Structure 1
Amino acid sequence: MISSTKKFFIALMLFLPAVASAQPNLVTTIKPLGLIANDIAGNHANVEVLLPDSASPHDYALKPSDLKKISSADAVFWVGPELELFLEKLLSDADNAVRLTSYPGMPVRYFEEGSHGHDDHDHHDHSHDGIDGHIWLGPDQSIVIAQAVKDKLSKIDPENAKAYEDNYTAFKAELEQAKLALQTRLAAFNNKGYFLFHDAYGYFEDAFKLSPLGHLTINPDRKPGAKTLVTIRGAIKEGKAQCVFSEPQFNPAMVSTLVKGTDTKVLVLDPMATDLKVGSNQYVDFLNQLGSQYLSCFGEI
């Protein structure tokens, strides 16, 4: 016989809502990876970005709170030592870490040895003679990043694997559509000249058949050398460049000096999506934002 007390608790449990299992917690090192991860996670997983907007992934110093986030995460997505060298020892053998440059199917490009294009050859915090770590700037590479997120989430949260697969399929279709639209618009301008602040956009430029005249610096944390500035100033005065791209964290005064007295425009490329938000923006917003700046450089109305 079941006592009246037990009957009461059984009846009570029938009317209580089921306690939801904890959602997977994902950590990405930088915000563009967070945008991709959130597109795949949807409402079934939490996504947190490790680095603040003002931080450089090339030489970031981990805080105790960062270590706690990493250790407690179900999955940590990082580009690899090509970008976040400070994480190499911590994540290389971590079970919850996914290194994206070495993920199966990732189409990487390589920096050409000796093509630095500047006169500052000090030791840098990341290599520009090997794999280009700026993979999130390429649409094809970002599809593989999304696949890596989908695969990892499906493994740690199989109950929602179908949702992750559907989100990945939608992500891929939307990104392919955005890529095609940008290719069509940018095709008319693939012979236009421009300079970059930072040698980071090779994946984007390969996808859209664009080619810069050069860049001010290879390492965004170092000032351009005097020889480089003289060379670029000469090319600008000769009318070879439609624009010079700066970046949000870079003092624009130097770029303004380079274009002074010419019709060359100064525009900003934001490789870290500083003005976008995980949760309210998608990766395709980031890609379109980059494309819009190139189109502004070339004068498309």
Structure 2
Amino acid sequence: MISSTKKFFIALMLFLPAVASAQPNLVTTIKPLGLIANDIAGNHANVEVLLPDSASPHDYALRPSDLKKISAADAVFWVGPELELFLEKLLGDADNAVRLTTYPGMPVRYFDEGAHGHDDHDHHGHSHDGIDGHIWLGPDQSIVIAQAVKDKLVKLDPSHAKDYESNYARFKADLESAKSSLETRLSAIDNKGYFLFHDAYGYFEDAFKLNSLGHLTINPERKPGAKTLVAIRGAIKKGQAQCVFSEPQFNPAMVSTLVKGTDAKVLVLDPMATDLKVETNQYVDFLNQLGSQYLACFSEI
């Protein structure tokens, strides 16, 4: 027999709300941001990436499922209209949105600083007159991104604040170690002549004192102009470039044509971490992957 006192407490427990609340749900627009967010969240928050691997953040059409994911998120981390212009109206004033280009302490660069010449100006999708939105490609900028995630999680889930602080400290230490190692290896390279497919790597190149000879296109959704291709082909034939970097989202045939009959290599830079997984990889894996491709261009590895 169950006593009347026990019956009372059983009934009371059935009507009490659960003590443990659901984990914070974080959404990042692109996978590299997801890698950073997951490094900080650890086991205490869920991290989802909005854009598929094959999609470009410069020009993406939101689906109904995307809108649902955004509205259900406790926090949505986006670079800003400099990259994801399609989200400007939706996230500009949203309470759950964290814009990273304007986050306190974010060191941004501008496209007109050290920009290489090109023969076409394309303002569709994202601007190349102001802030460079590819902030996740810079080690120093990524530390601020991690700080933004940590700050938001501490507010959303203060019971795990110490863990978030610890994860952030580990992230920063690991990133600074990886950066130092890459600086040492890249500084030993004398000739750094290369061309890029896409004008996106300024933050990485600033961090490691690299200078490309130019890029095939500003906006990856547009084909390079004929004048640009002729100029790049001429430079490659003169032996000025050790390699040309393509990207996995684009047909490499054009790049292969540019280097045909020369000693220049064709290598791939993946700014979107296509072959990495948020569940198993870390941001330092992404940074080291980029560094390895630059080193491969310069024949160290």
* Contact in 2 for aligned 1:117/1:228 (Cα 8 Å): no
Q: What residue number does 1:78 align with?
A: 78
SS of 1:164's partner is helix
CA displacement at 1:117 relative to structure 2: 2.7
SS of 1:173's partner is helix
CA displacement at 1:5 relative to structure 2: 4.3
Q: CA-to-partner distance for each residue in 1:83-126, whole Å, 9 max, x for gaps?
A: 00000011111110000000000000000189463222344211
Q: Which segment is superposed worse, 185-194 or 278-287? A: 185-194
SS of 2:172's partner is helix
Structure 2 Cα separation of the partners of residues 290 and 124 of structure 1: 27
Q: What residue number does 1:201 align with?
A: 201
Q: What residue number does 2:184 align with?
A: 184
Structure 2 Cα separation of the partners of residues 198 and 260 of structure 1: 20
Structure 2 Cα separation of the partners of residues 53 and 45 of structure 1: 22
Structure 1 Cα separation of the partners of residues 160 and 287 of structure 2: 27
Aligned residues: 296
Mapping 1:86-105, distance limit 5 Å: 86-105=86-105
Q: What residue number does 2:290 align with?
A: 290
Give the counterpart letter for 1:72 in structure 2.
A
Q: What residue number does 1:67 align with?
A: 67
Give the counterpart letter for 2:179 in structure 1.
K
* Contact in 2 for aligned 1:139/1:175 (Cα 8 Å): yes
* Contact in 2 for aligned 1:190/1:209 (Cα 8 Å): no
CA displacement at 1:21 relative to structure 2: 1.7
Structure 2 Cα separation of the partners of residues 4 and 195 of structure 1: 81
* Contact in 1 for aligned 2:116/2:213 (Cα 8 Å): no
**TM-score normalised per structure 2:** 0.94
Structure 2 Cα separation of the partners of residues 225 and 259 of structure 1: 17
* Contact in 2 for aligned 1:197/1:217 (Cα 8 Å): yes
* Contact in 1 for aligned 2:205/2:211 (Cα 8 Å): yes
**TM-score normalised per structure 1:** 0.94
Give the counterpart letter for 1:195 in structure 2.
F
Matched, 1:250 2:250: yes
SS of 1:67's partner is helix
Percent identity of equivalent pairs: 86
Mapping 1:136-151, distance limit 5 Å: 136-151=136-151
SS of 2:188's partner is helix
Q: What residue number does 1:259 align with?
A: 259
Matched, 1:168 2:168: yes
Q: What residue number does 1:111 align with?
A: 111
* Contact in 2 for aligned 1:83/1:134 (Cα 8 Å): yes
Structure 1 Cα separation of the partners of residues 180 and 122 of structure 2: 40
Q: What residue number does 2:39 align with?
A: 39
Structure 1 Cα separation of the partners of residues 115 and 140 of structure 2: 24
Structure 2 Cα separation of the partners of residues 34 and 196 of structure 1: 25
Unaligned segments of structure 1, at least 5 residues: none
Q: CA-to-partner distance for each residue in 1:172-201, whole Å, 9 max, x for gaps?
A: 000000000000000012641000000000
CA displacement at 1:11 relative to structure 2: 7.4
* Contact in 1 for aligned 2:40/2:164 (Cα 8 Å): yes
Q: What residue number does 1:130 align with?
A: 130
Supply the RMSD in Å over aligned alpha carbons: 1.8
Structure 2 Cα separation of the partners of residues 193 and 113 of structure 1: 19
Q: Which segment is superposed worse, 232-241 or 120-129? A: 120-129
- Do the aligned partners of residues 214 and 208 (structure 1) sit closer, same or farther apart at CA in structure 2, a change above 3 Å counting? same
